[in-house]
Amino acid sequence: MFHRRCATGVCAGIIGLAVAVVFLLSQTVLAETLFDRSLRQVTSRAAQSAPDDFSFVVLGDSRGDDKVFTAALRRASAFKPLFILHGGDLSDNGTTKELDHALQLIERTVPGLPVFVVKGNHERDRALFEEKVGPRNFSIDIARLGFKLVAVDNSRNSLAKEELAYLRRQLALRSPLAFVAMHAPPGTERWNWHTFSEGAPELIRLLSGEGVTMAFFSHVHQFDRDTIGTVPAIISGGGGAPLVGRELFPGEPVYHIVVVRVRKGIAMAEMVPVQP
């Protein structure tokens, strides 16, 4: 009888330990952000990519229309990119329900494809964004490809000192190919609506002096190009949100993705329309 009770206790202890381990593992999986998963994936994919011939895709402002966003993701996947960069406004209000829905849509549509998301103004809860999607400021460095992407949060319609300092630090670590991304575009002679001004002069000076290859923005629901300082700049905001007309902004009101191809160290960007 004594031995039987002892064995039962041991079994109960083992079962309890197993349950605890499963719970901890499930919590670890749940705690992994989209950024964490994508960083692991892009590291693996970069090891298989040719250094002189690779591509990535940029899109943004997908909130409010799953049909267009799904079509954009599928169109992007067809180019077999190294990763997708989303310029922000993944959701209408950045609630738990909305972010979970968007993340599930991404995982369902492009499983295994890294997706990095810049924080947009519609991702209103900073802490929730960091918990589920990833950091507000981040850098992706792939030495094998001579590639760097630096993204910062200007979703409050300004580029704060913290973000400028982060940009400076990251860009000071020079790379043959250096790309910069943030949600809202700065005001320029061409871009004079739905732009930010606080921190814009500093950004323009910084981009011109740090060997930046190209800069990406969203926020305006169109496609457009400009030059900031000496740097080619692109707005990609046609991922599903309602398009805005040319009476407000001089770009193209079209649902689209942008395919960036890097061949022999030269980066070229092409707008590709998306048909939902």
Mean pLDDT on 266-271: 98
Residue 212: partners with Cβ closer than 8 Å, 6 or more residues away: 171, 178, 179, 180, 231
The C-alpha atoms of residue 209 and residue 169 are separated, in whole angstroms, by 13
Confidence of residue 119 (pLDDT cuts 50, 70, 90): very high
Mean pLDDT on 48-55: 97
Statement: residue 232 has pLDDT above 90? yes
Q: Which of 73, 70, 63 is nearest to 95 (CA)?
A: 63
What does the DSSP assignment read for 209-263?
Answer: HTT--EEEE-SSSSEEEEEETTEEEEEE--SSSPP--TTT-SSB---EEEEEEEE
In this structure, how many other beta carbons lie within 10 angstroms of the beta carbon of residue 227?
12
Statement: residue 15 has pLDDT above 50? no
- What pLDDT does residue 30 have? 54
Are 231 and 207 in contact, with CB atoms under 8 Å apart? yes
Mean pLDDT on 159-181: 97
Confidence of residue 209 (pLDDT cuts 50, 70, 90): confident
pLDDT digits (tens, 9 = 90+) for 128-138: 999 999 999 99
Pick the CATH number of 34-42+53-273 from 3.40.50.1820, 3.60.21.10, 1.10.240.10, 3.30.70.2740: 3.60.21.10
User: Regarding beta strands 147-151 and 214-217, do their DSSP bridges make them parallel or antiparallel, or are they unpaired?
Assistant: unpaired
Domains of the chain: which residue ranges? 34-42+53-273
